[in-house]
Amino acid sequence: MKLAILGCGAWGTALAIAFGERHDVVLWGRDAAQVEALRATRQNQHYLPGATLPAGVRPSADLPVAVANADLILAAVPTNALRQTLRALKTTVSPGALVWACKGFEQASSRLPHQIVQEEIGGAHSCGVLSGPSFAKEVAEGKPAALTLASSDGQFARAAAHELHGPRLRVYSSGDVAGVELGGALKNVIAIAVGVSDGLELGSNARAALITRGLAEMKRLGVQLGGQPETFTGLTGLGDLVLTCTGDLSRNRRVGLALAKGQPLASVLTQLGHVAEGVFTAPEVRRIAASLNVDMPITEAVCALLDGRVSAAEAVAELMRRDPKAEQQSMS
């Protein structure tokens, strides 16, 4: 299969490495100097140092060349860059089969990726989202991982998943685009909370409780927004939540750890050097939940902490003061 991957950040590079062993891959980036360095060294020193591109991967800064005759275009850009990328793509080629691998809401519009795609190229194309519990570094190293490819076109989801599926990077199919995207966005907020708990050294019991109750929040809002309940107990819900809350490579978890130590948010983000989606997602989730009258106490606590209205210890104390409820009732 001829595969064009748009975006040569950490995730785009990792996917190029994973798929480049079996497919003809062009890895496109808009920064010509970065692409030339990729071509010369076969490594992405800035975003994914130490990982080497397979011989079958061809870096390119020329979008028309990158997507020419591609069987599948995979957009691995940040959500905030997806709209611009799609607009550039439209001037080059009429997108046929398109998959995006970005998470979170667009900051300017509060749109999910599938809504951006609908607005920019319409719904006449075979398209879907690729998401799941995956750190780019581990995927690039060839360590086992599993993802979900979701599309409203079930035949396309199954066919694309089959083509991308491999022995080390398993790809499952789904029809729940909204649920898959929401799981990938909402888990980042919970990961900040778990990072705070671990930073305060509150223990494994507290971590388990936050992950479990965080999943309840994700499911409550996700179902209200059109996701299927079972999606939130799958790879892109529970799976991605556990990884992001417990993995040391998680940027959102690291934000929580630093905030627990009293570091200012601006300083934390500067030191991080990469985008931590949960910081921007949390206030948007709070706004959407309020408009739908959905109870999101962990999200509220994270927002209060990010806004500087409470300390990390005060945010935890506020959660602990909540009135008890029947668990299954509060899961719905």
| Separate counts of helices (H) and strands (E) for the chain | 16, 10
d(CA 25, CA 55): 10
Q: Identify whether 16 is part of a domain.
A: yes
Are residues 186 and 295 part of one domain? yes
Are residues 286 and 225 part of one domain? yes
For helices 312-320 and 177-199, the axis angle rounded to 10 degrees is 110
Report whether 282 contacts 190 (CB < 8 A).
no
And the tokens for 298?
Answer: 């962990």
Are residues 119 and 38 part of one domain? yes
Are residues 211 and 95 part of one domain? no
- Domain span at 224: 179-330
Are residues 316 and 213 part of one domain? yes
Report whether 299 contacts 279 (CB < 8 A).
no
Three-state secondary-structure class, residue 226? coil
- The DSSP annotation for 246-312 comes to H-TT-HHHHHHHHHHTT--HHHHHHHH-S--HHHHHHHHHHHHHHHHT---HHHHHHHHHHTTSS-H
Q: Identify whether 188 is part of a domain.
A: yes
Of 182, 178, 63, the closest CA to residue 118 belongs to 178
Give the pLDDT confidence score for residue 326 in this predicted structure: 78
Are residues 187 and 325 part of one domain? yes
Give the pLDDT confidence score for residue 124 in this predicted structure: 64
* Number of domains present in the structure of the chain: 2
97-100, strands of its sheet edge to edge: 57-60, 24-28, 2-6, 72-75, 97-100, 126-131, 145-150, 169-174
Are residues 200 and 91 part of one domain? no
Residue in the block written with tokens 């990072």:
195
Are residues 304 and 213 part of one domain? yes
Q: Say which CATH number the domain at 195 has.
A: 1.10.1040.10
d(CA 192, CA 281): 11
Catalytic residues: 187
* Residue pLDDT, tens place only, 146-163: 999 999 999 999 999 999
Tell me how far apart the terminal alpha carbons of the chain are, to the nearest angstrom.
43
Are residues 234 and 107 part of one domain? no
Are residues 312 and 194 part of one domain? yes
Q: Identify whether 149 is part of a domain.
A: no
Give the pLDDT confidence score for residue 276 in this predicted structure: 86
pTM, full prediction: 0.94
Q: Say which CATH number the domain at 71 has.
A: 3.40.50.720
User: Going by C-beta distance under 8 Å and a sequence separation of 6 or more, which residues neighbour residue 1?
Assistant: 23, 24, 71, 72, 163
* Residues with pLDDT less than 70, the chain: 95, 124, 328-332
